[in-house]
Structure 1
Amino acid sequence: MSYAEFEPGRILIVRAEHDADLIQFITEIAKERDIESGFFTAMGALKRAELGFYDQETHKYQELTVDDHCEIASCVGNISILDGEPFVHVHAVLTYEDGEAIGGHLNEAQVFAAEVHIQEVKGPAMIRRHDDITDLSLWQFE
């Protein structure tokens, strides 16, 4: 087990720009505001998205493209450091007009309208490093 204790930092409430890529948008905020560690939620609607499902045997993401407008039913993520830069990791559940839902790792998300709540945390750096067992970049606390 690897863990660390943190204190609350700044809280940012942000409206994402229409047509922005949600992940790039949050990454830019993290860089501009010097946020190295934090968590966020988002709500709103997307024009299109790309989700991924990590295959634990092949260690590859299966991608699913959503080429239709959808609502963000749930969107949670974190901000940490990967290769010296802010890294945004996001999971989302998206719903269609008929109520059908789809979810997974969010790779791309073109915003129609979205509101984001970012909670910075202060403490040891949340640095991601390659994990040989999972073949993922996971948190390593220093």
Structure 2
Amino acid sequence: MKSRVLSESGGLTVHAVIMDKGDEPMTELRRWAEEQGVGAASLTGIGAFSGATLGYFDPGRGDYLRIPVGEQVEVLSLTGDVALADGRPQVHAHVVVGLRDGTTRGGHLLEARVWPTLEIVVQESPAWLRKRHDPETGLTLIDLPSSG
């Protein structure tokens, strides 16, 4: 994985994060965010995976149903955010992938293997987003403080 700052203006920093063949994007993005001290950001990306596991959150189970995708796919859209949970950056990403026949699969990105590349643009904000445990769902959700 490689990264570079593309621009800085008005407190916002834009990074390019380029994944290499075989990288696991969720692990690499978490590590990168920790190393860079990123506490609030949005991200978008395109590229390809040799395989992935997507997730669909099942409220009845309180857990993700795993959706395996065991073939080469195009990453048509990857969107997400970075926020702090227990003082550490947490990456939350959703993805839509295109299969050979033109059909798509989508969901929460649980894990994947990059092949041959994944190009991510991260827009870092100077404000820190914080996640808190939601006892009703069992998830950590962004908690914005009330204003005024």
1:115 aligns with 2:114: no
Q: Distance in 2 between matches of 1:46 and 1:116?
A: 14
2:28 partner SS: helix
Give % identity.
30
TM-score (norm 2): 0.86
CA shift, 1:91, in A, is 0.3
Indicate the SS of the match to 2:125.
strand
- Residue of structure 1 in register with 2:61 after alignment: 58
Matched, 1:40 2:43: yes
Q: Give runs of aligned pairs for residues 92-103 of structure 1, distance below 5 A.
A: 92-103=95-106
Q: Per-residue deviation at 1:8? A: 5.0
Q: 1:15 aligns with which of 6, 15, 18?
A: 18
User: Bigger relative contact order, structure 1 or 2, given CA contacts below 8 A and separation 6+?
Assistant: 1
Q: TM-score, normalized by length of structure 1?
A: 0.89
Hey, which bits of structure 1, 4+ residues long, moved more than 3 A? Answer: none
Q: Distance in 2 between matches of 1:36 and 1:79?
A: 6
Structure 1 unmatched runs, 5+: 1-6
Q: What SS does the corresponding residue of 2:60 show, helix, strand or coil?
A: coil
1:67 aligns with 2:51: no
Q: Distance between the aligned counterparts of 1:41 and 1:58, measured in 2?
A: 29
In structure 2, the residue matched to 1:3 is none
Amino acid at match of 2:21: H
Instruction: From 85, 88, 92, give the equivalent of 2:91.
Output: 88
Distance 1:100 1:8, change over 3 A: farther
Deviation at 1:94, TM superposition (A): 0.7
Question: For the residues of structure 2 that align with 1:74 and 1:17, how far apart are their CA atoms?
Answer: 18
Which residue in 2 is equivalent to 1:4? none
Mean CA deviation greater in 40-49 or 57-66: 57-66
CA RMSD of aligned residues (A): 1.3
Residue matched to 1:105: 108
Structure 1 position 133, deviation (Å): 2.4
Structure 2 gap ranges (5+): 1-9
Tell me the equivalent position of 1:24. 27
State the partner residue of 1:129: 132
